[in-house]
Structures are given as structure tokens and as C-alpha cells.
């Protein structure tokens, strides 16, 4: 797992991780602190994690998020992520959404 922190004016503002598997990478623990939202840091983090995965030969990105994470869902959809059935250790859960993007 590779984990990254994004800063705004030397203050930790957000974070995200990516875990590499044999045939895909999973975005993990994406978070931007509320006072730093709306400044493009989430977009910056998704782009960085996607680039990191691509540099490691990955062609598919996946993630799991909650149904109430509307801002996150909008962010992921803007990057081309689409809903998929549960993958890996995830199971069918009405509060969970799994997504995937080809890179």
C-alpha cells in the first residue's frame, strides 16, 4: 500500500492510498479535511493515485465507498469511475458502492 498526504500551506489537508493487486489497484482511504474541500485537492489526489498505479503497470482502478458520500461519488464519476458489483473482500451491502475505471 502506498499512502500520500496533500498539504495546503504546510498543513496536512487530505490523504489517500492505493493498494496494488495482481490485476488491479484499489484506491483506499481518500479523505480531504472539511475546511480544505472545494479547492481541488480531492481531484489532485485521485489523479496522483491513478498516475502511481499506471506507473506500476496497472490498467484497472477500483474503489469502495458509501452511498451517503455524495461528494466523493461525484468526484469519482467525474474521473470516469462507473459502478460495478462487489469485488475482492467486499460483499453486496446496501450502504456500499463499488466502482471501477480503466486507465
| Residue range(s) defining the domain that contains residue 29 | 2-102
Query: For the chain, how many structural domains are there in total?
Result: 1
Report the CATH number at residue 60.
3.40.630.30
d(CA 76, CA 38): 15
**pLDDT value at position 49?**
97
- At 1-18, the pLDDT tens digits run 999 999 999 999 999 999
The cell for 17 is 492510498
Direct distance between the N- and C-terminal alpha carbons of the chain, in angstroms, rounded to an integer: 19
- At 56-80, the pLDDT tens digits run 999 999 999 999 999 999 999 999 9
Residue 17 burial class via C-beta count within 10 angstroms: exposed 0-12, middle 13-18, buried 19 and up = middle
Amino acid at each position: 500500500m502506498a499512502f500520500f498526504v496533500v498539504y495546503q500551506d504546510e498543513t496536512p489537508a487530505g490523504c489517500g492510498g492505493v493498494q496494488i493487486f495482481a490485476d488491479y489497484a484499489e484506491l483506499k482511504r481518500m479523505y480531504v479535511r472539511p475546511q480544505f474541500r472545494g479547492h481541488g485537492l480531492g481531484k489532485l489526489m485521485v489523479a496522483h493515485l491513478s498516475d502511481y498505479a499506471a506507473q506500476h503497470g496497472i490498467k484497472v482502478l477500483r474503489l469502495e465507498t458509501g452511498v451517503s458520500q455524495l461528494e466523493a461519488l461525484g468526484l469519482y464519476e467525474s474521473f470516469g469511475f462507473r459502478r460495478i458489483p462487489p469485488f475482492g473482500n467486499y460483499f453486496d451491502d446496501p450502504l456500499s458502492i463499488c466502482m471501477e475505471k480503466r486507465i
